[in-house]
Structure 1
């Protein structure tokens, strides 16, 4: 039992929280870009929060399920069709063997997550299921392709028709803390960085987001290579900031003016080329507390409710009967 990929969308991979403890060997952590949506997709159906999921980018995948299974979806607002009937992202949905599921082009946000009850029946590599395509490890070792088959562990969940009650955060303000080389930048360049509006470049991916806008100059752009943090904002010689993300290199030799507060990484993950962002400096202590509060709210299920609509409700028995009498091919 599992899923058969009919069309993978633009960039669909298997991700979990990430692969940690191997950066000294050159392996990037990888992992879900938007941790909030990743956790909520799993939480909808009662999975452990670190269960591997599908991460879909800009345009989602089309696949067929070969067994009954419950899915949870969260993140970007992508059109969702099951056997050509429309449903909403952000809910637990029961799928019946043979169902064809198709996600369209994101109308809001960039990344949508699909969790399956029990997760995927695949082997972890270096302690994680996360795909890192450059290393060809995790998941199926690459983005999904047509005709891929991925086995599943679970079946139907007793979920009570749960829904996500929180929308993705589309605000433009990205909170940051001082980077390792913050003191390499004079007052004029710091002012340029924090009071300019930047545009996400088309040359952006899971490795990093390149930004177009005001250039920033350091007294020296070259440093001895050092560890790259999730959300590090490095300033190369052309002065254009780069936000380093899940598939980042493990070390680098450019000055880092700031680091995105972990609580706002999810905002970056849902920005597409052409979107605007502006940076706001906060203290490390505030960034830590904001992240803790956010995780506390997720773990307390503050963003999960029960639907009062029936637009996403599918009853397995009646759907199966409908299929058997010819409602679906």
Structure 2
């Protein structure tokens, strides 16, 4: 059903689900929501399938005209949610009516806002996923970022409100990493710099990868390697010695030495950091990384990331809203 018309698309807004798996060997990037935790939580809050498509908005949200009644919620970065002239907080379900204007503001903390709608956003699947990959122009809404005038469909469905919301997150700057495939190419000095220095996320960072600025990491046996398949969170070090963390829209193979890989449990924390923020790396082993990721998935699957909804203004009863609209109040 036609649910939204895009009035202002924001800075970089795309349709994303859990990603495109099984096609890297053919050159297709996985794509998908960068903050997998926020994607899963907003769908869980709305009672959607966990893989349902959402809108991922970067640094600044979109403005949408509501064409059909539905229930929405946001997760990830904190941002003001405006329905006409009424302000709402992040992480709560909000019923919206035809003719209203939904405006998602700029990120107050974090870098990526995830807008979910009842049933999920309805775009054609490409290679088993609704995720957008803009560089190859596939998936999502016509393979691109949203533009003013686009009309978005949602699957729809009846929302059962159980009076809960997503808790706000408190994050630190520590990103845990596992030694990478070419860790041995880097000497003691480079390793000391990696674990005892701050690295800044530069403005050249995007969905393909975060480019970092900090102490140079010199590889003793050279930075070039035979091209190998890449993975989420791989930290490549090119000849200039400045690390690049590969993310969802990464190339499928890379030829730079990989000093480390970000633990999957810390990917949501990492991708919510905007350009200009600094991070610190901490080494952990593979077993610890696997255990932390397992715990994170368990927290997402439980109600640990939810709290009781105390601001009942977001419930917005359907009958009362319709009467208000008819009376023009």
Report the TM-score when normalising by structure 1. 0.97
Q: Does 1:75 align with 2:71?
A: no
| Kept after mapping to 2: 8 A contact 1:93/1:161 | no
1:168-179 equivalences under 5 Å are 168-179=169-180
Which of the residues 299, 304, 307 maps onto 1:305? 307
- Matched residues in 1 for 2:122 and 2:204: separation? 34
How far 1:138 moved relative to its partner?
A: 0.8
Structure 1 position 168, deviation (Å): 2.8
Do the aligned partners of 1:70 and 1:155 also contact (CA within 8 Å) in 2? no
SS at match of 1:54: strand
Aligned partner (choices 145, 148, 161) of residue 147 of structure 2: 145
- Contact 1:2 / 1:152 at 8 angstroms: preserved in 2? yes
Deviation at 1:183, TM superposition (A): 0.5
Aligned residues, how many?
A: 326
Tell me, in whole angstroms, the C-alpha distance in 1 between the residues paired with 2:284 and 2:249: 25
Please name the residue that 1:186 is paired with: 187
Residue deviations 1:37-67, cap 9 Å, x none? 1111111111111110001110000001211
Shift of residue 317, structure 1, vs aligned partner: 1.4
Structure-2 residue corresponding to 1:164: 166
SS in 2 for 1:279: strand
- Alignment match, 1:283: 285
Offset at residue 194 of structure 1 (A): 0.9
Pair 70,303 (structure 1): closer, same or farther in 2 beyond 3 Å: same
Question: Which deviations, in whole Å up to 9, do the C-alpha atoms of 1:217-237 show, x marking residues without a partner?
Answer: 002101000011100000000
121-130 vs 317-326, which moves further? 317-326
Q: Give 1:31-180 correspondences, 5 Å limit.
A: 31-140=32-141, 141-165=143-167, 167-180=168-181
Unaligned 5+ segments in structure 1 are none
* 2:251 counterpart of 1:249: yes
Instruction: State the shift of 1:130 in Å.
Output: 0.4
Following TM superposition, the consecutive aligned residue runs of length 4 or more in structure 1 with deviations greater than 3 angstroms are none
1:119-168 deviation digits (Å, cap 9, x = unpaired): 12221000000000011111111011100011111144112232012x23
Whether contact under 8 Å (1:18, 1:130) holds in the other structure is yes
Q: CA RMSD in A?
A: 1.1
Choose the corresponding residue for 1:265, options 258, 264, 267: 267
Q: Distance in 1 between matches of 2:139 and 2:202?
A: 28
Q: Given that residues 46 and 159 in structure 1 are in contact (C-alpha distance below 8 angstroms), is that contact kept between their aligned partners in structure 2?
A: no
SS at match of 1:314: coil
SS of 2:204's equivalent?
Answer: coil
Distance in 2 of aligned mates of 1:155 and 1:5? 21
Contact 1:17 1:31 in 2 (8 A): yes
